[in-house]
Chain A
Amino acid sequence: MGDAVEITGLVKRFGSVTAVDGLDLKMPRGGLLALLGPNGAGKTTTVEICEGFVRPDEGTVRVLGLDPRRDGTALRPRIGVMPQGGGAYPGVRAEEMLGLVAACAADPLDPAWLLDVLGLGGARRTPFKRLSGGQQQRLSLACALVGRPELVFLDEPTAGMDPQARRLVWDLLEALRADGVSVLLTTHLMEEAETLADDIVIVDRGRVIAQGSPSALTAEHADDAQLRFRARPGLDTELLSAALPEGYLVRESAPGAYRVAGIVDPQVVSTVTAWCAQQGVLAEELHVGKRDLEEVFLELTGRELRT
């Protein structure tokens, strides 16, 4: 059996914008691959090319061994698609929409069961436009899964979902993988990619800039470890930097979440806690370890916001 997805030298331009710029990617059958990258990196474009919606300018794409455009008729019954947003009549009821997609499949899952599982049992008769953003996402996910596909493309499946729904989706993804379904997803949640994916591909400006298993990616880019702790937001990180020897980088990655990058030895830990004590704050959840995927991602793609 060949790969679930195999892309070589893929290029896609929109006018003067090169959305995908020589991208290579391989995903084995039964695998779960997470495509990461900043906004506008070309993730959706790549996925839509795999689904046969967008015509590539250069390169070859094989999905389940088929050309998504030429062999679309043979391919579409075998894949499930969750687009990034939209994908339903505004006035359609949740159960009607899922029923319609289910009717297109030979041996679909029970739509009513799937709606219940996804917490939409009470919204069966609610028109799509009156579902909340997270509920719309869940319906869209249901549409991708209902036909029992062998490969699913999920474009930011957990975007806009509350923590409970997100956890449910993670369980679903685990179950899909256990049952042998190949999954290609895009996400901005590093935690999601790190815990679920067999393979991670990071793209930026339409090119692959790093790939590998989550542990390989974090190990590869972890020449130096880091120290993380939580304290009240707004501590003066410059001051803490000054208290440490040359070459240590201190930042507040999220309000109240601090990271000290550099070679973490006992002396550094002691300096940090002592400095906190001087400020009259308790350093909580002090943790020394290799960098997580988010650090690696920021390192690779830069810390500036893309415009």
Chain B
Amino acid sequence: MTTTPSAGRPRFAPGTFTPAPGSGRRGRMLLTHARVETSLTLRHGEQILLTLLIPLALLVGLSLLDILPTEGSLARVDWITPRILALAVMSSAFTGQAIALGFDRRYGVLKRLSATALPRWLLVAGRLAAALVVVALQVVVLGAVAALLGWAPSLSGAAYGVVLLVAGTLSFGALGVLLGGSLRPELVLALANLVWFVLLLAGGILLAPATLPGAAGDIVALLPSGALAEGLRAALTEGTVSWRPLAVLAAWGAVAAALATRTTRLT
């Protein structure tokens, strides 16, 4: 038996594989990783359902139908849009992220990537950067539909709204990595959806903390979902800049990130 090809000459010019090892530039690694993660999310049907179609359906439905208790004289669309933006952040940065990460670990993606020069922190940073891009797209689409429904946000609170959206994405993203990085993917799938559902109904997103009985409202305002939804509502309806929701989100994010660095497994 021979290993020389049929042509009788080597298939590869000498020097083709001469070692030239080294690490890629960080900016390029981050950009490429984030781009791949973003396109995978946007190509994934179930992710689109979760991150865009469900929030859209709720936005349209709850703006047109009088189902939820709103506050004072506020137009329904003005009251519901900030809450739907909070839902969009939770859906993509937390639920979608956790499920994707759980299965990526199963498929050996994390192992594959961590066998390259990609530093561990970049592995997470790329995913969070992708989550920010996805949230930006969600906000554009949901905001445009809300505008068609008559949404008139307070412009003075818009900049702070963006700050809250970024903080919410990073905080929920850290929680998503914490959940998706440590358990079996089937369990991650079940838990991420369960948490999403519970927080949607009882976590301050669809029902304002103020409308909940007794101490429940105070507790819900300390959840990342309640903090983000209320913070966005105050910023986008009243133009209020309150640091409390930002502090709550930062605290959840910091605790989740600290835990995740210990619990995250590559496989």
Binding site for B on A (CB under 8 A): 51, 53, 73, 76-79, 81, 83, 85-92, 96-97, 99-109, 117, 143, 145, 147-150, 167-168, 170-172, 174-176, 178-181, 191, 195-196
Interface contact A170-B20, CB-CB below 8 Å: no
B24 contact from A90, A103, A179, Cβ within 8 A: A103
Interface contact B21-A149, CB-CB below 8 Å: yes
Known A-B contacts A77-B22, A87-B107; A195 and B1 likewise in contact (beta carbons under 8 Å): yes
Interface contact B10-A174, CB-CB below 8 Å: yes
Task: Kindly supply a per-residue 1/0 record for chain B positions 37-49, scoring 1 wherever the CB is within 8 Å of any chain A CB and 0 otherwise.
Answer: 0011001100000
Task: Give the number of chain B interface residues (Cβ < 8 Å).
Answer: 44
Q: How far is the CA of A174 from the CA of B107 in the complex (A)?
A: 30
B115 at interface by CB-CB < 8 Å: yes
B137 at interface by CB-CB < 8 Å: no
Among B84-123, those with CB < 8 Å from A are 103-104, 107-109, 111-119
Task: Kindly supply a per-residue 1/0 record for chain B positions 193-210, scoring 1 wherever the CB is within 8 Å of any chain A CB and 0 otherwise.
Answer: 000000000000000000
Main SS of the interface on chain B? loop
A89 contact from B20, B104, B111, Cβ within 8 A: B104
Interface contact B44-A91, CB-CB below 8 Å: yes
- Nearest-neighbour CB distance to chain A for B53, whole angstroms, equals 19
Task: Kindly supply a per-residue 1/0 record for chain B positions 6-29, scoring 1 wherever the CB is within 8 Å of any chain A CB and 0 otherwise.
Answer: 000011101111111111100011
Interface contact B119-A148, CB-CB below 8 Å: no
Binding site for A on B (CB under 8 A): 1, 3-5, 10-12, 14-24, 28-29, 31-33, 36, 39-40, 43-44, 103-104, 107-109, 111-119, 266-267
List A contacts of B11 (CB < 8 A): 168, 171, 175
- Nearest-neighbour CB distance to chain A for B239, whole angstroms, equals 42
Known A-B contacts A87-B108, A171-B5, A195-B1; A180 and B18 likewise in contact (beta carbons under 8 Å): yes
Please give 18 more A-B residue pairs, beta carbons under 8 A apart, in addition to A171-B4, A179-B19.
A78-B21, A87-B112, A89-B36, A89-B109, A104-B29, A105-B24, A106-B22, A106-B24, A107-B22, A145-B17, A147-B117, A148-B20, A171-B12, A174-B3, A178-B10, A179-B14, A179-B15, A181-B17
- Nearest-neighbour CB distance to chain A for B232, whole angstroms, equals 31
Interface contact B43-A91, CB-CB below 8 Å: yes
Interface contact A100-B32, CB-CB below 8 Å: yes
Interface contact B17-A176, CB-CB below 8 Å: yes
Q: How far is the CA of A85 from the CA of B109 in the complex (A)?
A: 11
Interface contact B111-A53, CB-CB below 8 Å: yes
B107 contact from A88, A103, A106, A109, Cβ within 8 A: A88
Known A-B contacts A53-B266, A143-B112; A148 and B36 likewise in contact (beta carbons under 8 Å): no
Known A-B contacts A104-B24, A105-B24; A76 and B19 likewise in contact (beta carbons under 8 Å): no
List A contacts of B1 (CB < 8 A): 191, 195
Interface contact B40-A150, CB-CB below 8 Å: no
Known A-B contacts A106-B24, A175-B17, A181-B17; A167 and B107 likewise in contact (beta carbons under 8 Å): no
Closest CB pairs A-B (n = 4) = A106-B22, A86-B108, A87-B112, A77-B117
A sample of 23 cross-chain residue pairs with beta-carbon separation below 8 angstroms, ordered by A number, consists of A77-B23, A79-B21, A81-B115, A83-B115, A88-B107, A89-B36, A89-B109, A97-B36, A100-B113, A101-B116, A103-B28, A103-B33, A104-B24, A104-B117, A104-B118, A105-B22, A106-B20, A148-B20, A149-B21, A167-B5, A171-B3, A171-B4, A176-B17
